[in-house]
């Protein structure tokens, strides 16, 4: 019998604090009109001072376990996509494992910036198809706000914090149909955080730096190409896609990519207006939001994609 992997359930967590565009007007030289016109973002969530990436990831895990109706003991692998771990080590995945009381199962983090969840999903799919594991917890989480300079209006208006999770399980029916992931390290200079600890001291600039125009051009081109490739490999057309769930970086990028793919915006899941760019949490947050609001239903064909620093990008075609 051929083995497939399927998304069993989704879950999410957002911090309580809302940072609106009106709030940002008091912090930096910007306006609600300027932010919305350039990004489509109206508000974003920000972690509390005593809240961590692991806290958010755990809360999203509790939510997905509740939605899945399975016992945590069934989980045999934990994958966490994050660029913002609270500590260098142990990994965020190991911290989640401890909180769940699961001993001996493997747990590790993946770092592919905003594309992290797509990388983790592809990894989970490969593990299940190889019959290595049967029930995998996949989390995307980032506390981007802690690496943002709130005097830089080109970056501070775009990002927020959050966590999203799915449980991927072995199935005899196709679920995750096709994954494709890419990277191009020559894009390092257009989006990065170069600050690091060296001999106990902070070296380099500790905040995000971004060339917005270069990111836009690379994002739209690569996202359109990888989505088209996944559809072609799978033998599906864009007309057969029920829901397009893109990385929620910027509404203009989302709209341009959808136009390149000839997918109507009526079939696009958009949460960037209320979440901002939550990096690796972006796609699973949008997915869970659409499922809980009754848009995405069992049997729907989903096209997921992400793009991020590295430069990294990827897509997944999924029968939910």
Task: Out of 59, 179, 222, 247, pick the active-site residue.
Answer: 247
Active site residue 192: no
What's the pLDDT score for residue 1?
77
Active site residue 277: yes
Q: Is 182 a catalytic residue?
A: no
**Interacting residues of 218 by C-beta distance below 8 A, sequence separation 6+:** 187, 190, 307, 311
Among 195, 203, 199, 213, residue whose Cα is nearest residue 149: 195
For tokens 């939510």, what's the residue? Answer: 63
Query: What pLDDT does 269 receive?
Result: 99
pTM for this one? 0.98
Supply angle C-alpha 251, 43, 267, rounded to 5. 35
Which residues, 6+ apart, have CB-to-CB distance to 189 below 8 Å? 211
**In the block, residue with structure tokens 């972006």:** 282
pLDDT in tens, the chain (320 residues): 799 999 999 999 999 999 999 999 999 999 999 999 999 999 999 999 999 999 999 999 999 999 999 999 999 999 999 999 999 999 999 999 999 999 999 999 999 999 999 999 999 999 999 999 999 999 999 999 999 999 999 999 999 999 999 999 999 999 999 999 999 999 999 999 999 999 999 999 999 999 999 999 999 999 999 999 999 999 999 999 999 999 999 999 999 999 999 999 999 999 999 999 999 999 999 999 999 999 999 999 999 999 999 999 999 999 99
Structural domains of the chain in order of their starting residue, each with its CATH number: 4-173 (3.40.47.10), 177-319 (3.40.47.10)
Given 21, 114, 179, 250, the catalytic residue: 114
For β-strands 161-171 and 301-308, DSSP reports them as: unpaired
**For position 219, what pLDDT does the model report?**
96
Q: What is the pLDDT of residue 113?
A: 98
Give the integer Cα–Cα distance in Å for 223 and 152: 27
How far is residue 72's CA from residue 89's CA, in Å, rounded to a whole number? Answer: 23
**Which position has the token pair 């506390």?**
143
């Amino acid at each position: 019998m051929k083995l497939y992997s399927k998304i069993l359930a989704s879950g999410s967590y957002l911090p309580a604090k809302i940072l609106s565009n009106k709030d940002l007007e008091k912090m930096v030289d910007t306006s609600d009109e300027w932010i919305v016109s350039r990004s489509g973002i109206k508000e974003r969530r920000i972690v509390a001072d005593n809240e961590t990436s692991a806290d958010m990831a755990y809360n999203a895990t509790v939510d997905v376990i509740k939605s899945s109706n399975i016992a945590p003991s069934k989980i045999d692998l934990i994958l966490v996509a994050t660029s913002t771990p609270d500590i260098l080590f142990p990994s965020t995945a190991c911290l989640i494992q401890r909180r769940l009381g699961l001993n001996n199962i493997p747990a590790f983090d993946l770092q592919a910036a905003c594309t992290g969840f797509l990388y983790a999903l592809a990894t989970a799919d490969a593990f299940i198809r190889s019959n290595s594991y049967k029930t995998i917890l996949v989390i995307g989480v980032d506390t981007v706000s802690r690496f943002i300079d709130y005097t830089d209006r080109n970056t501070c208006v775009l990002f927020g914090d959050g966590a999203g999770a799915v449980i991927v399980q072995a199935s005899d029916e196709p679920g995750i149909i096709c994954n494709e992931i890419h990277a191009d390290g020559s894009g390092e200079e257009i989006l990065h955080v170069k600050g690091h600890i060296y001999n106990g001291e902070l070296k380099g600039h500790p905040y995000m730096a971004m060339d917005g125009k270069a990111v836009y051009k690379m994002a739209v081109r690569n996202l359109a190409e990888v989505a088209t490739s996944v559809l072609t490999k799978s033998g599906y057309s864009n007309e057969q896609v029920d829901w397009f769930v893109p990385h929620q970086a910027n509404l203009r990028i989302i709209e341009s990519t959808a136009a390149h793919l000839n997918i109507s915006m009526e079939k696009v899941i958009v949460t960037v207006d209320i979440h901002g760019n939550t990096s690796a949490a972006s796609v699973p947050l949008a997915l869970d939001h659409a499922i809980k609001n009754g848009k995405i239903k069992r049997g729907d064909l989903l096209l997921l994609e992400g793009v991020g620093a590295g430069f990294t990008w990827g897509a997944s075609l999924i029968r939910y």
